[in-house]
Amino acid sequence: MSEHQQTQKNMPGMPTWWVVTSRELADLWIGGRAPVLLLLFSILLSVLSFLLATNSELSLIPPKEMVHMTLRAAIVISLFISLIIGADAISGEREKGSLETLLLTPTPRSAIIFGKFLAAISPWPAVMAITYPYGLMLAPDIDFFMFAFVWALIIGSILVLLSAGIGMLMSIRAASNRESIAMSLVVFLFLLLPTQLPGTAQAGALGKLLKRIDPMEACAHFFEKILINNRGVLEMSSFLLSPVMCTGIVLVLLIWVIGPKLQLQGGKQA
């Protein structure tokens, strides 16, 4: 009896997608990569917070900007983690030779995809839980921090869903795990590139267009304006349209269009 079939036998009456999710969560969190990634993130966040607090004492960085930088760093790291886990979800099974066994279990392929997708986004709440005390320590007051933290959760959740979805789409299509991760990183860097443009480029016509259509740039612009520039949420809400639409399209493609056609071999599908 295969591992997947044994798992289903031990969890009678459970939805098949939850059986897959439980197995993936166990693989990811019990002796898997998630604790290591979170440990590295904690170390990185500790260093960043120390540097920001030191600069704050020298009056170089206002507290609001420190909170903004900390939460934005948490979001970006979460996107990278979910992308890598998603990119490994299917192509990793192919390379281990376990995908055939998984496909032969009495589990709809959409349930397999959905279960693995939930596992890919599971580090996101943990990252924000780790970030909470660091951001609170740097914040000028609790009201501002809670406002910033809630919106970081909203924006980050949208982008984490998008990032994990992109990684899994690449994983389904790729012929190898290396190819899947490489393609996912290319897409990730392409979406992240507009956020690194200099201020003069962002002020031009192309920069303004990118702020609207690029989901990461749109979220970054929205988050900065409502936190640093005291702009109203309703006033800036139109910048969330692109991230929500892009995430919705990716999830529909993943769970209802491409995912159900999952094949043993990667590459172009009919």
Q: State the Cα–Cα distance between residues 161 and 155, nearest whole angstrom.
A: 10
Instruction: Give the pLDDT score at 59.
Output: 58
Read off the pTM. Answer: 0.90
Question: What pLDDT is attached to residue 200?
Answer: 56
Per-residue pLDDT at 102 = 85
Per DSSP, 2 falls in state: -
Phi, psi (deg, nearest 5) at residue 204: -75, 180
Task: State residue 196's pLDDT score.
Answer: 66
pLDDT digits (tens, 9 = 90+) for 66-109: 999 999 999 999 999 999 999 999 999 998 888 888 888 888 89
Predicted pLDDT of residue 115 = 94
- Listed by start position, the domains of the chain span 16-261
Residues of the chain scoring pLDDT < 50: 1-3, 7-11, 270
The confidence score (pLDDT) of residue 1 equals: 44
Spatial distance between the Cα atoms of 218 and 142, rounded to a whole number of angstroms: 26
Gap between the Cα atoms of 24 and 19, Å rounded: 9
The closest of 34, 49, 39, 46 to 81, measured between CA atoms, is 34
Distance CA 151, CA 148 (A): 5
Q: How high is the pLDDT of residue 2? A: 47
